[in-house]
Amino acid sequence: MDRSAAYQKAEQLREEIRRHDHLYYALDMPEIDDAEYDRLYRELVDLEEAFPEIVTPDSPTQRVGGAPLKSFGTVTHRAPLLSLGNAFDDGELVDFDRRVRQAIEDVEYVVEPKIDGLTIVLIYENGRFISGSTRGDGFTGEDITTNLKTIKEIPLRLRHEVPRLEVRGEAYMSRRAFQRLNQEREERGEPFFANPRNAAAGSLRQLDPQVTASRALQVFIYSILYQEDEPAGTQLDVLDRLEQLGFVVNPWRVHCKDIGMVVEACREGLDKRDHLPYEIDGMVVKVNSVDQQERLGSTSKSPRWAIAYKFPAEQAVTRVRDIITRVGRTGVLTPTAVLDPVRVAGSTVSRATLHNEDIVKQKDVRIGDQVVIHKAGDVIPEVVRSLTEKRTGGEVEFVMPSRCPECGSQVVRLEGEAAARCIGSACPAQLREGIIHFASRGAMNIEGLGPAVVAQLTAAGLIHSAADLYYLEAEQLVGLERMGQKSADNLIQAIDHSRENGLAKLLFALGIRFVGERVAKLLAEHYRSLERLQQADYEELKAVPEVGDKIAASIVAYLGDQANRELIERLKEAGVNTEQQVVARTSDSPLAGKTLVLTGTLASFTRKDAQEMIEQRGGRVSSSVSRQTDYVVAGEDPGSKLDKANSLGVAVLDEDQFKALLGR
């Protein structure tokens, strides 16, 4: 291939990859599976390696490029980036509306969720991303372009060319990503982030873009700060236009004809907040008409046409009854405060994590103390601080036990680590927690095998390792608490199905230190079989993308351990698939050769999981309904696709029927 042919091919691949990025990240409607995407990406990388001169700065391969920076440059914003005034109750919303209506008549509002993240500004020239910054003090911010480029949800090239465009949005971390990041940090004995917002800010203010790239950051874009284009007429038009340009825009926006509707939309926000995958700290109310916004203008700090309705803080005060330690799957002992039950943000809380010994000391939390607790983007609440001024003198300091509370083995704390660990190799807590992890969603995803069942199985001596799961029989399960014949059969079936998950899930499930879901997937893609991975040495492992010293050393240690080798052998004997390509039962599945469209929310799987399972069975997922569609799977709150299916007479499956076709 000559240079110009390579150039053309590369441009074509980039366009295709961009289109799939947009389908996946902005529209949540992927058309191809990960493997197919990876093939396209690989082809582009190979081409760019063969012809380095054809690489463009906006190529999808250039997301993680540069070497670590020495410091961030500064960027002066075109116009000061204002912040919002606050309303703390309905009355303050009504006051805001009164002020607005003193200046203009016939006002309509838009209410949007207020994402609890970090403000970012993105600048595009001729459709290409050229610079990104933080808000800073509103006048100047930090230049974090290289870090922002690593966020896949930020388009490097827009879907339509505009000579110049500047937009504002929020970078954030989902609750799930935050929880995972802190878990990893806990295992490594590193300090945690207090909440997803701090985690997002900390991740973006990294001098090494590789670190930012490893953190699952996301964005929502909500305003146009500057454009060389026809101005939009309303905020709703702005959001539509941003979407058309290829940005990720929050789909939740409520058009309100009057302040009564605004109050209602804000209350609805309060109800919904706990069910969102990310944190919001309020709702933003904006005058819809851009013309009216301009007429209202701004003070030096904030616009007069918008206000933030702030939710009440998710904090509560309660008493620490006791501080116990819980043993995790890696043997780490986590001090946990047992509390007088108290309501925080919609649920009753009776435990709160204290993370480790140092944090207990640093926060000076004692048994008997009154403490402030909050929920940090996490199901497990956290102690914020103790109210030392309320002490009576009877409070007792916490001491980390020297023996494991579950097995009595010695507890040690290695130098340089915050974590204290039980070193018992037969610790029942480690076994139990290890199996809970093995069965969890991102791992082997065994439905019905939650913490309560695992605790019973281990306590009854029915399983001594994850491999034992595959030798269980329904008769052994019947009689366990809340386990009838039907649930026992279902559980055995779920365990049986998990045999086919493939190497990526299995590797994550094994719980090798530092091998999270992503690294497991990269390893599986690289080695394709567990046998090949077992033969790899330290140096070879380090050649795998994103695998550094620590991960490589941990894998070598894990695979070198006799007990782990035996576990792997027994899993293999039990018929657990240790290859990456799932031995797909394509031809005998009723889904083989079929085209499916998914709509609405499914209770038992994410979109991605559902798609994966369909494809493993030889089916295809399409994003739109046509006469060629074989089935439409309709979950809760189905969209217009369901109407379309009905009008075309396409077969519609509910979740149970879908599960039946999957053989689950």
Which of the residues are catalytic?
114
Q: Which residues pair with 165 in a beta bridge?
A: 124, 227
Q: Which of 618, 616, 640 is nearest to 630 (CA)?
A: 618
Among 129, 222, 527, 631, binds ligand IVH (CB under 6 A): 222
Between 283 and 523, CB nearer to ligand IVH: 283
The token pair that represents 94 in the structure block: 């009504």
For 365-386, the three-class secondary structure string (H helix, E strand, C coil) is CCECCEEEEECCCCCCCEEEEE
Between 169 and 209, CB nearer to ligand IVH: 169
CB of 220 to ligand IVH, least distance (A): 7
| Binders of ligand IVH in range 285-304 (CB under 6 A) | 303
| Binders of ligand IVH in range 117-176 (CB under 6 A) | 119, 170
| Binders of ligand IVH in range 253-292 (CB under 6 A) | 284
The span of 44-52, 55-63, 110-118, 512-520 binding ligand IVH (CB under 6 A) equals: 110-118
CB of 25 to ligand IVH, least distance (A): 18
CB of 122 to ligand IVH, least distance (A): 13
DSSP codes of every residue in 386-421: E-GGG--S--B-----SB-TTT--BEE--TT-S--E
Between 284 and 477, CB nearer to ligand IVH: 284
Among 26, 32, 84, 420, binds ligand IVH (CB under 6 A): 84
CB of 112 to ligand IVH, least distance (A): 4
Q: Which of 650, 600, 654, 655 is nearest to 630 (CA)?
A: 650
Classify burial at 482, counting beta carbons within 10 Å of its beta carbon; exposed 0-12, middle 13-18, buried 19 or more: exposed
- Using the rule CB under 6 A, is 249 a contact of ligand IVH? no
The span of 33-41, 108-116, 123-131, 409-417 binding ligand IVH (CB under 6 A) equals: 108-116
C-alpha to C-alpha distance for 511 and 436, rounded to whole angstroms:
11
C-alpha to C-alpha distance for 405 and 324, rounded to whole angstroms:
9
CB of 346 to ligand IVH, least distance (A): 21
Among 44, 100, 115, 339, binds ligand IVH (CB under 6 A): 115
CB of 114 to ligand IVH, least distance (A): 4
Between 222 and 605, CB nearer to ligand IVH: 222
DSSP codes of every residue in 124-185: EETTEEEEEEE-TTSSEEEB-HHHHHT-TTS-SB-SS--SEEEEEEEEEE-HHHHHHHHHHH
C-alpha to C-alpha distance for 524 and 504, rounded to whole angstroms:
5
Between 10 and 249, CB nearer to ligand IVH: 249
The span of 60-68, 107-115, 352-360, 457-465 binding ligand IVH (CB under 6 A) equals: 107-115
Among 308, 404, 446, 469, binds ligand IVH (CB under 6 A): 308
Residue 111's H or E segment, with its range, is strand 109-115
Q: Which residues pair with 172 in a beta bridge?
A: 218
- Using the rule CB under 6 A, is 114 a contact of ligand IVH? yes
Which residue's C-beta sits nearest to ligand IVH? 83
- Using the rule CB under 6 A, is 201 a contact of ligand IVH? no
Between 52 and 277, CB nearer to ligand IVH: 277
CB of 252 to ligand IVH, least distance (A): 9
| Binders of ligand IVH in range 525-584 (CB under 6 A) | none
Between 79 and 379, CB nearer to ligand IVH: 79
Dihedral pair phi/psi, residue 555, rounded to 5°: -65, -45
Q: Which residues pair with 227 in a beta bridge?
A: 165
CB of 91 to ligand IVH, least distance (A): 20
C-alpha to C-alpha distance for 631 and 591, rounded to whole angstroms:
10
How many chain residues bind ligand IVH (CB under 6 A)? 14
Place of tokens 């046409």: 305
The token pair that represents 345 in the structure block: 């943000």
Dihedral pair phi/psi, residue 480, rounded to 5°: -65, 160
The token pair that represents 444 in the structure block: 């082997």
Among 23, 55, 69, 82, binds ligand IVH (CB under 6 A): 82
For 557-618, the three-class secondary structure string (H helix, E strand, C coil) is HHHHCHHHHHHHHHHHHCCCCCECCCCCCCCCCCCCCCEEEEECECCCCCHHHHHHHHHHCC
| Residues forming the site for ligand IVH (CB under 6 A) | 82-84, 112, 114-115, 119, 170, 222-223, 284, 303, 306, 308
